[in-house]
């Protein structure tokens, strides 16, 4: 044994004499950090780095099989899922790793923001971090494109349509993005190049800079309320703190990082095993139009925002909001480089994080069930509940048929089934009079198309008769107040029995 | 940069010999010459880089600089009998500009509406909002988009939802009993699908398109 140990030390020294890396690396690993930074709050950056390594490794393994051509990419993914041993697992690891990476980068960013770590002298670390977030999202989007299925194809269409709205240079930019006149072979090759060469190259270089600056400037000390950052005194104070309470990063602080990284890796593996790989959904054949494309999780909120913007605001918001948002993130450390770090003394910062988190969460939730989209098959798959047909006249029942046949259900729900684009019709007659319903059906309005051209007079009559019977749990029917005034002498007619 | 480097080249030797010990002049003279040569080499590399940038940028920006009108050509969608009057049908065609590795992505669908006689409307599949594939519902005479709920009337005009305009339309003409459309480029708000009056050269190429295989007309919805 001692012989073996001696031999290995000799080998190490042989390399060390030539490389000279061991010394500096050990010194770097053991550098002193303030003991208060050995916290479970400080583990997200290293976890993101570990997932990045996972993504690089699984990505290389997938590239061994993946065929980056429009004609074969989808088939090669199916081949990976079904014919290559554990190919599905590697795809799942890469896909779930991507979701975890986006999530952890966002959590890391929120933590750094709330702990004031972007303040002097770490402004540039934050600014590079903003670019790292954008590059991570870029990897997520280009990765979704490489999963060349229906969602990827139409996702590219959405991307091209957004780019086409840029004033003046929109057209050339679309050509540059697609690499040709349509979404096809050159488009996939472009996104393959971006996903595999360009963005990872920049990403790895910037991660290197990011970590280098963390080592050079020291990790952010635990913020204390009332301990203000002052450019003149901060560096000296930080060094005093490190000298007073310093502990070697490895192993005294790093054990938490490495334990958390292991937990995250286990979580990625568990998700990959349990939920499996993402897609691919249908083939990227644009002639298959029976599809409802959706972006991946990280972009669902954008998808939802695009549904709610009014047409006149869409283009300005699409291009002004990102500039303001990214600009604000980049400028943040420059305009507030000094002062209070602790979150309890920065209510606006806390409020911003909360509001942004709620907004992203709410829009993502909406993006998951897309209430604005018509349910394309509701008119043939969701029958009118029988309770709504009981004790109805033949004309009213005919109206129920019209309601189904004219695809009203694609946007309107009855009995909880159907689209959510328009209001539910279960109690429509309790807040709209017959006249109002006729006008709404024929002329549309309020985001409803006019059906005057699609309905014959008899169909309209039947439909409206049926709709006037829909009064929820026997609510009073809506009445025209002016009509009641003119006919106040007549006794009110007994309302027809609702369901 | 030392003051010596900033002095003109021909004066260097005299200044240096005046300010430096006797043994140094030769080395210093060589130093300033090497600095000059190094700067010269930087200049040469800059020039080489600039020359190299021309093909690189040309290659990279090639698709962006291409004139969009050159992508469109006339495509035969089939005999008029395939399109009953008053109906709107889905027709697929092979994009005129494709590569052999495009696979299915080179097949493009479009909605053909025969209004009456020789009057047609040929709509792009892409929603004018964000390009998703719109579906035709003959019963309610609406095109509906699955992505954000855009809806269009049978004539392609905007009915409701987020689109800011009606459906994109392809230009069409009738050549010896067949419907022919001008297509080839994905319609977006930047190019509006309905291009300007076609070039005469393009009109002349229509004979070539007639030899193209008959497009597959599938899932015709009535």
- Residues B98, B15: one domain? no
What 3-state class would DSSP assign to A299?
helix
Q: What is the β-pairing status of strands B169-175 and B178-183?
A: antiparallel
Cross-chain residue pair B147–A373, CB shorter than 8 Å: yes
CATH code at position B178? 2.102.10
Is the torsion defined by CA of A97, A98, A102, A108 positive or negative?
positive
Chain B residue with minimum CA distance to A72: B103
Judging contacts by C-beta atoms under 8 Å, the chain A residues touching residue B100 are: 71
- Residues B72, B120: one domain? yes
A185-193 and A123-146 helices cross at what angle (nearest 10)?
150
Residues 6+ apart with CB under 8 A from A307: A366, A370, A372, A373, B147, B148, B149, B162
- Residues B185, B200: one domain? yes
- Residues A224, A352: one domain? yes
Cross-chain residue pair B99–A184, CB shorter than 8 Å: yes
- Residues A407, A359: one domain? no
For residue A427, what are the domain limits? Answer: 378-486
**pLDDT average per 10 residues of sequence, chain B (222 residues):** 45 47 62 93 97 94 75 92 94 92 94 94 94 95 94 93 91 94 91 45 39 44 39
Domain end, chosen from A337, A369, A401, is at A369
The alpha-carbon gap from B55 to the nearest alpha carbon of chain A, in Å, equals 16
What 3-state class would DSSP assign to B174?
strand
Residue A18: inside a domain: no
Cross-chain residue pair A293–B63, CB shorter than 8 Å: no
- Residues A383, A241: one domain? no
Taking a C-beta distance cutoff of 8 angstroms, is the pair A143, A136 a contact?
Answer: no
CA–CA separation, A137 and A399 (whole Å) = 50
- Residues A242, A287: one domain? yes
- Residues B104, B202: one domain? yes
- Residues B27, B100: one domain? no
Total structural domains within chain B: 2
- Residues A355, A419: one domain? no
CATH code at position A259? 1.20.810.10
Judging contacts by C-beta atoms under 8 Å, the chain A residues touching residue B61 are: 176
Residue A5: inside a domain: no
Cross-chain residue pair A184–B105, CB shorter than 8 Å: yes
- Residues B172, B115: one domain? yes
Name the residue facing B103 among A71, A166, A379 (closest C-beta): A71
What 3-state class would DSSP assign to B192?
coil
A355: nearest Cα among A347, A343, A366: A347
One digit per residue, the tens of pLDDT, for chain A of length 499 reads 789 999 999 999 999 999 999 989 999 999 999 999 999 999 999 999 999 999 999 999 999 999 999 999 999 999 999 999 999 999 999 999 999 999 999 999 999 999 999 999 999 999 999 999 999 999 999 999 999 999 999 999 999 999 999 988 888 999 999 998 999 999 999 999 999 999 999 999 999 999 999 999 999 999 999 999 999 999 999 999 999 999 999 999 999 999 999 999 999 999 999 999 998 999 999 999 999 899 999 999 999 999 998 888 888 899 999 999 999 999 999 999 999 999 999 999 999 999 999 999 999 999 998 999 999 999 999 999 988 998 899 999 999 999 999 999 999 999 999 999 999 999 999 989 999 999 999 999 888 999 999 999 999 999 999 999 998 877 788 888 777 666 655 555 555 554 5
Total structural domains within chain A: 2
Name the pTM for this structure.
Answer: 0.87
Beta bridge partners of B109: B92
Cross-chain residue pair A449–B148, CB shorter than 8 Å: no
Number of Cβ pairs closer than 8 Å across A and B? 206
Cross-chain residue pair B218–A287, CB shorter than 8 Å: yes
Residue B86: inside a domain: yes
Report the residue count for chain B.
222
For residue B84, what are the domain limits? Answer: 68-126+168-209
The alpha-carbon gap from B81 to the nearest alpha carbon of chain A, in Å, equals 22
Residue B18: inside a domain: yes
């Amino acid at each position: 044994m001692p012989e073996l140990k001696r031999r290995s030390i000799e080998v190490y020294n042989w390399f060390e004499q030539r490389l000279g890396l061991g010394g500096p690396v050990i010194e770097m690993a053991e550098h002193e950090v303030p003991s208060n930074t050995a916290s479970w709050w400080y583990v997200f950056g290293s976890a993101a780095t570990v997932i990045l390594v996972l993504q690089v490794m699984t990505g290389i393994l997938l590239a061994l099989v993946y065929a980056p051509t429009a004609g074969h990419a989808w088939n090669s993914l199916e081949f990976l899922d079904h014919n290559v041993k554990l190919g599905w697992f590697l795809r799942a690891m890469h896909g779930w790793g991507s979701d975890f990476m986006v999530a952890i980068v966002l959590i890391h960013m929120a933590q750094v923001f709330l702990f004031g770590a972007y303040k002097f002298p770490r402004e540039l670390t934050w600014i590079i971090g903003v670019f790292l977030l954008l590059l991570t999202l870029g990897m997520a989007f280009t990765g979704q494109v490489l999963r060349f299925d229906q969602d990827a194809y139409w996702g590219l269409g959405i991307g091209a349509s957004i780019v086409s709205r840029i004033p003046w240079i929109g057209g050339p930019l679309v050509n540059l993005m697609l690499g040709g006149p349509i979404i096809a072979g050159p488009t996939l090759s472009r996104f393959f190049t971006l996903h595999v060469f360009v963005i990872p190259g920049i990403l790895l270089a910037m991660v290197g800079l990011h970590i280098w600056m963390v080592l050079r400037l020291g990790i952010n000390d635990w913020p204390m309320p009332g301990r203000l950052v002052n450019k003149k005194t901060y560096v000296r104070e930080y060094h005093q703190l490190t000298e007073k309470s310093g502990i070697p990063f490895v192993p005294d602080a790093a054990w938490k990082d490495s334990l958390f990284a292991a937990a995250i890796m286990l979580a990625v593996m568990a998700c990959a095993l349990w939920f499996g790989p993402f897609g691919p959904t249908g083939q990227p054949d644009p002639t298959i139009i029976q599809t409802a494309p959706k972006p991946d999780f990280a972009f669902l909120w954008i998808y939802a925002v695009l549904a709610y913007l009014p047409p006149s605001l869409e283009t300005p918001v699409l291009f002004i909001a990102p500039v303001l948002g990214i600009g604000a993130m980049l400028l943040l450390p420059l305009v507030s480089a000094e002062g209070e770090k602790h979150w309890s003394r920065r209510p606006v910062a806390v409020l911003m994080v909360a509001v942004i988190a709620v907004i992203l969460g709410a829009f993502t939730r909406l993006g998951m069930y897309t209430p604005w989209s018509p349910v394309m098959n509701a008119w043939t798959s969701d029958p009118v509940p029988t309770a709504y047909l009981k004790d109805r006249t033949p004309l009213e029942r005919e109206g129920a048929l019209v309601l189904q046949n004219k695809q009203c259900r694609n946007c309107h729900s009855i009995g909880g089934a159907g689209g959510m684009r328009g209001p539910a019709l279960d109690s429509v007659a309790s807040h709209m009079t017959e006249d109002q319903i006729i006008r709404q059906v024929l002329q549309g309005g309020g985001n409803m198309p006019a059906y005057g051209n699609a309905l014959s007079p008899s169909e309209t009559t039947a439909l409206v008769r049926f709709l006037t019977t829909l009064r929820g749990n026997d609510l009073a029917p809506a009445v025209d107040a002016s009509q009641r005034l003119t006919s106040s002498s007549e006794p009110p007619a007994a309302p027809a029995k609702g369901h | 940069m030392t003051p010596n480097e900033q002095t003109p080249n021909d004066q260097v030797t005299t200044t240096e010999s005046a300010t430096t010990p006797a043994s140094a002049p030769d080395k210093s003279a060589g130093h300033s010459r090497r600095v000059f040569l190094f700067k010269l080499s930087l200049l040469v590399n800059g020039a080489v880089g600039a020359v190299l940038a021309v093909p690189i940028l040309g290659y990279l920006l090639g698709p962006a600089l291409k004139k969009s009108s050159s992508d469109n050509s006339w495509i035969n969608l089939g005999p008029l009998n395939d399109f009953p009057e008053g109906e709107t049908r889905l027709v697929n065609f092979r994009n005129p500009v494709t590569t052999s590795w495009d696979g299915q992505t080179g097949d493009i669908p479009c909605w053909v509406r025969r209004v009456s006689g020789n009057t047609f409307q040929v709509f792009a599949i892409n929603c004018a909002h964000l390009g998703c594939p719109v579906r035709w519902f003959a019963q309610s005479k609406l095109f509906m988009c699955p992505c954000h709920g855009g809806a269009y009337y049978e004539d392609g005009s905007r009915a409701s939802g987020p689109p800011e305009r009606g459906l994109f339309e392809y230009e069409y003409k009738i050549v010896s009993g067949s419907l022919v459309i001008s297509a080839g480029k994905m319609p977006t708000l930047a190019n509006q699908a309905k291009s300007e009056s076609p070039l005469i050269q393009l009109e002349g190429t229509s004979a070539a398109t007639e030899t193209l295989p008959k497009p597959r007309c599938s899932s015709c919805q009535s």
